[in-house]
Structure 1
């Protein structure tokens, strides 16, 4: 018997998350009913819990790094998905605006990211829900052998791959430095390594350094050494071909400017920061050094598909980036742990 109710987590104000219950809508002909199994708490999620992203709105039924199992499908879904398939969840998008037609679904012109797209009452896409109904176009099929928490990495990895395409990595030649040894820093590093380049990660904190080394990366202890000098030493004075800034901080921006190579270097500004970091650079430096400052945000459908394939084929292993699994009923504890400095992803388990 199919469920008719859903249990979900919602942020009601700064520092407070709770579990609520509501009726599931009727399954439409182009939709899938998903038994959602896990949803990882993203930086975007816990920063709102901390009060740093209150512009996103309350009540927020958030969570977007989620995966689950198809348990029913509409009559017109076709054979792309079958009952029993493991899927990872994408954002809702209209599919008809100019951006969507170009595949850029995270900047859909008709569906606001984290907006009230699934409810008149709640913001968000209900990732922290035990069951949910979504349009069949909002999924990527996953390897059933992946754990639910690992399958939930399609969304963050998609955003990483979006940035990777912009910095035009040259396998077997480039050296890439990632500033930031947290979840997204090491995910950027893993994606860059999968593309055949040398990767150096600059991070702080023994747990992050140890995890990075466990994953096989060259790690710079930025808390006890000058990361700019270390990058120059490790590259024989040349500097990095590309620097990925995966820490939203003014100091990280400054380090990137100093450790990138003198000519035709590229700096990818991957991370947002709250409060907003500063970027202080002389425009003549950009001019004379042929320096590229590149912004990246969101993902295309192609990025999401590639992320699903790379995870499913285990070309990227994210198992070390899962800090702990916490039940949905303990959602407040989950947010407390997710926002604890130094922790990796907290995965909320959505089925009792």
Structure 2
């Protein structure tokens, strides 16, 4: 039975997450109605909860790492999606601006990523809603055998794949160092390994070091060892071909400059930091050593589809990156735990957890 009203998680101010209620909109011809099962709390979400992204606005009905089941579809959908399909969402996009025509849908010129696209009152994508209606083009179909929490990794994995495409890894040749073993760091590490790279992970926190080792990576304990010296030791003093900065920190940025090889190395500035970190880089060093400093953000439509395929075919295992499952009615607790340097906290939208 489709409800007249839905419940959804919402950030109302710094440090405050609440459950609100609103009417379910009318389904249009080009839309799907999805019973949303789960939404994982990502860095963007909890950084606003921390008060580090006040510019995104309140009230924020956020969440974008979610998955669910199609329960109804508009008259124009055809057989692309069927009732009962498991789906994951993409960011909204217009499909007609210059960025969208190039596939760069997270840079859409007409639809603001965290704007008031579904409500005159609330910002955000309503990822933490029990049910929601979106354009069918904003979904990808997922393997029904995947756990919903794992299917919800399409968006973060898509951003990792964009990074990897820019890095142009050489299978069997490149040594990749990932600084930071949080969710996004280990996603980068897992994809780099799947693409044939030798992967070394540098991390300070014991729990994250343990998860990195359980995932089978070579690990540097940055709390006890000098990461630059260890990278040189692991590579016989050659240095890394690629360094991925999965933390936004000045110290990590400057470590990356010291652990790369002498020529033709690449550094990916994957993570943002608030306040913005610094990087003590000499332009002549970039010139003479032919270093590529790469910025990456968001995903193209191709990246999203590739991410869905990678998850659906189980070419990457994200199960160890799911820390805990908490019900929607305890969303404040969920954000408090996400704030404690954990991996993904999955907000369960259809059931209470114990």
Query: What TM-score do you get using the length of structure 1 for normalisation?
Result: 0.99
Distance 1:192 1:5 in 2: 43
State the match for 2:346 in structure 1: 347
State the match for 1:213 in structure 2: 213
Matches within 5 A, 1:287-298: 287-298=287-298
Cα deviation, 1:118-172, whole Å, max 9, x if unaligned, reads 1111111000000000000001100001111000100000000001000100001
Cα deviation, 1:215-268, whole Å, max 9, x if unaligned, reads 111111011110010001000000010100000100110011111111000000
State the match for 2:59 in structure 1: 59
State the match for 1:279 in structure 2: 279
Distance 1:275 1:183 in 2: 20
Distance 1:213 1:315 in 2: 19
Distance 1:304 1:259 in 2: 31
Q: Alignment partner of 1:240: what SS?
A: coil
| Offset of residue 117 of structure 1 | 1.1
| Offset of residue 66 of structure 1 | 0.3
Distance 2:99 2:246 in 1: 26
Distance 1:153 1:175 in 2: 25
Distance 1:131 1:110 in 2: 25
Distance 2:14 2:153 in 1: 26
| Offset of residue 309 of structure 1 | 0.6
Matches within 5 A, 1:1-352: 1-341=1-341, 343-352=342-351
Distance 1:104 1:118 in 2: 21
Q: Alignment partner of 1:127: what SS?
A: coil
Query: What TM-score do you get using the length of structure 2 for normalisation?
Result: 0.98
Distance 2:212 2:311 in 1: 18
Distance 2:260 2:66 in 1: 35
Distance 2:223 2:152 in 1: 31
Distance 2:234 2:211 in 1: 20
| Offset of residue 204 of structure 1 | 1.2
Q: Alignment partner of 1:326: what SS?
A: strand
Q: Alignment partner of 1:219: what SS?
A: strand
Q: Give unmatched runs, 5+ long, in structure 1.
A: none
Q: Alignment partner of 1:243: what SS?
A: strand
| Offset of residue 6 of structure 1 | 1.0
Q: Alignment partner of 1:21: what SS?
A: strand
Distance 2:26 2:151 in 1: 26
Q: Give unmatched runs, 5+ long, in structure 2.
A: none
Distance 1:238 1:182 in 2: 26
Cα deviation, 1:280-320, whole Å, max 9, x if unaligned, reads 10100000000110000000010000000101111000000
Distance 1:124 1:146 in 2: 26
